[in-house]
Amino acid sequence: MKIEVKDAPGQLVAALKPISEAGGNIIAVIHEWDPTLRSKTRIVQVVLDIPEDRVDGLVESLTSRGVSILRMGEERLLMKRSVIMIGHLMHTDLSDTVDQIDCTGFAEVVEIHMTMPGIAQRSSALLTVSATNAAHMETAMEILRAVAKKKDLLLVEPMEESI
């Protein structure tokens, strides 16, 4: 969920306390500062796990404490990484390559941009993979590395991580 809280001492703790009270488990908290927002407020992203039947009570508790809920929803795939694959992607069955990631249950290819200059020439694709956590992302990358090696494709990975 993405919430907006007052920028004052103790407000972040006050906004997070109802999550615990509702039986939720806080997985991550990302505190953002955006100068375009009303003065004296801050945006906070909270990744949490809470039983479905307790969500309404949590929403009521947060809003009664003056916390604005800007966005809320299930987001299972928290990590994202883009890679480039170069080679005869169509001739080596790109859908099979994607399926090997998608069938894991913890990672998915969520976007593909492809360029095919000619039937006998190598094509290139920008693949974006999302995964549930860093360990699962690494496993997905290991799968892509193995597929690229088996199919004689070049896999270009990022040098820096982004979440």
Contact residues for 113 (Cβ-Cβ < 8 A; gap 6+)? 125, 126
What domains are defined for the chain? 2-71 (3.30.70.260), 79-156 (3.30.70.260)
For residues 113 and 104, give the distance between their C-alpha atoms in angstroms, rounded to a whole number: 22
The dihedral over CA atoms of 38, 39, 40, 41, expressed in degrees to the nearest 10, equals 30
Both tokens of residue 128?
């974006």
Q: Quote the radius of gyration of the chain (alpha carbons, Å).
A: 21
CA separation for the pair 156, 28 (Å, rounded): 30
Report the Cα 143 to chain-centroid distance in Å: 19
Give pLDDT, residue 76: 64
pTM assigned to the model: 0.55
Closest C-alpha to 45, from 18, 64, 73: 73
The C-alpha atoms of residue 144 and residue 63 are separated, in whole angstroms, by 44
pLDDT digits (tens, 9 = 90+) for 2-35: 888 888 888 888 889 999 999 988 887 877 665 6
Report which of residues 102 and 78 the model is more confident about. Answer: 102
What is the tens place of the pLDDT at every residue in 61-78? 999 988 888 878 766 667
